Amino acid sequence: MKRRKRIYLYMTLGLLLLYIGLVMLLYSFEYHSSSATIRTLSDAFWYSLVTLTTVGYGDLTPVTPLGHAVGVVFLLMSAGLLVTLFGAVVSFVTSEGLPLLMLGFQRRKNWYYFADYGAEANTLAENICKEDPDSVIIFGEKRDEQMEFPDYPCLFISASPARIVACKKNVGTRCKIFLMKENDIGVNSRAVDLHKLPVEVYARTTNGQDHLSGNINFFHSYDCCARQYWRSRPLCSHENMIVIIGFGNYGRCILERAILTNIISVDQHVAYHIFGDAREFLAMHNHLHETFSLGEESQTTDSLIFHEEPWETHHGLLKRADRIIICTDDEPEGWSIFWRLNRYYKLNGSINLHSNRKAPGVSYFGTNEEIYTPDQIMRTTLNKAAVMINDIFRRSVSYPTLSWEDLDDFHRESKITAADHLLMKIRILLEDETITELTADMAEKAYRRYCETKADKAVEDMYRRIDHLRWLRFYTFYNWSYGPVRDDAARQHPMLSTYAGLTAEQKKERDAAWELLGSISVML
């Protein structure tokens, strides 16, 4: 790159010297002639400019043979200059020059850079534009001529994140960078050295990790889908049996979210029947038996029953199910299961089908519009709520605890899961199972209800039991077990016991997630 710049510099200097030499030759050839109109260097310079720009006023003309020769050179140079200027303008307009110039005028706005253009990136960009009027959408590739231009303002610039950041010059908010292809951060050349740039990075992954370094965050489309599913279709008190067909990426995340957030009562006994290969899942989560009944239905606790045989053989089970969730990774296979269930089986419960294809009369979930939203991908509201839970928790206990910045990824996820259960807490407090959105008004009403009812010690105890059950599920899901003293390396915790075995202070710790309702209305 430096060598190329040096060559351009030498060429420019050479052309400039040639031009100056021609002007001086023209002057020396002309000023001796008595009929010459070009008598000074300024006259020669003016003639050269008029000729090179093809204006041709005719006020000055060479009269000597040698002057005519120099004039011919200037005429030939004028054609080359025009072609060069025209090519430069066309190149500037059709390349990155013009978009980068336009970006320069919008430095104070919020920049969102997508490494590639695709269906997921397009959906997220469109949702960002709807929510952020000061957004500037940048796709880091040239627009394909066959591509239909998006319905929102955006720029297609084949430029690296480093070049975009340099163009922003640290003005306004940090640029947000999105890598929307699965596990793209390991192979995409645009992801190199992102951790060194003053940006926020959101990379799609399947490895289950949420954080890499200070500015790099991961998101999981399967987990986003599961979160959105249970938010829009939460567990209801009348549901005691749920069937999950398909245990790939989507099915696993649907079950994980159910384990971590589907706690609505201390007396619930929901049976989850899962069809698919669960050997790896059970081997990985080998402490689930401490909070679930595995392999058989229970009347006192939730159950996880995994079936190796085909779902088609369980007519009676499908008939009794309150809800059937079809969540195969292969969408056409899911539709095939859906049609077969409707055609050949007697069903009493609802069927929810994972599909990005919308169809009337079908209860589908997991469309791109639902999954790829700013709040889902960047988890803005969820993360803020988790930080607030940690702050409330720190104020409620007598022993020293860590700030959000000092927590490791596991304990951050613990707070995030607690925040994820807030919608369920609101439904419990307001006794309204139709609530599917977390709003400031709902949170305020629920908090008032919490303050009114917790005066009854039995009710306060019930609230604490519910959150303790949620907490137990989280820790056993990550293979923690009981220990007399807390040992993070050994994954042991003294609170991993029955609620009756907790101390008064340990029971009081369970209030933090409920108390959050009093503060969350401010941020919604």
pLDDT tens, residue by residue, 373-424 = 998 998 878 888 888 888 888 887 777 888 888 888 888 889 989 989 999 9
Distance CA 381, CA 366 (A): 20
Distance CA 62, CA 48 (A): 11
Model confidence pLDDT, tens digit, residues 57-89:
777 778 788 877 877 776 777 666 656 655 544
Mean pLDDT to the nearest integer, 120-147: 90
Distance CA 339, CA 127 (A): 32
CA atoms within 13 A on the CB side of 45: 5
> Residue 298: phi, psi to the nearest 5?
-120, 150
- 138-147, 327-336, 468-477: range with lowest mean pLDDT: 138-147
> Residue 43: phi, psi to the nearest 5?
-65, -45
Average pLDDT, the chain: 87
pLDDT-derived band at 189, boundaries 50, 70, 90: confident
Among 372, 377, 328, residue whose Cα is nearest residue 353: 328
pLDDT-derived band at 516, boundaries 50, 70, 90: confident
**Can you give the pLDDT at residue 287?**
95
pLDDT-derived band at 210, boundaries 50, 70, 90: low
| The residue type at 365 | F
CB 277 within 8 A of CB 248: no
**Can you give the pLDDT at residue 97?**
61
**Can you give the pLDDT at residue 229?**
96
> Residue 226: phi, psi to the nearest 5?
-65, -45
At 242, which helix (H) or strand (E)?
Answer: strand 241-245
**Can you give the pLDDT at residue 92?**
46
Question: pTM (2 decimals)?
Answer: 0.80
**Can you give the pLDDT at residue 258?**
97
104 or 242, which is more confident? 242
CB 55 within 8 A of CB 87: no
**Can you give the pLDDT at residue 439?**
87
**Can you give the pLDDT at residue 211?**
58
Instruction: Report whether pLDDT(521) > 80.
Output: no
Distance CA 273, CA 282 (A): 14
Model confidence pLDDT, tens digit, residues 484-515:
999 999 999 999 999 999 999 999 989 988 98
Instruction: Report whether pLDDT(306) > 60.
Output: yes
170 or 86, which is more confident? 170
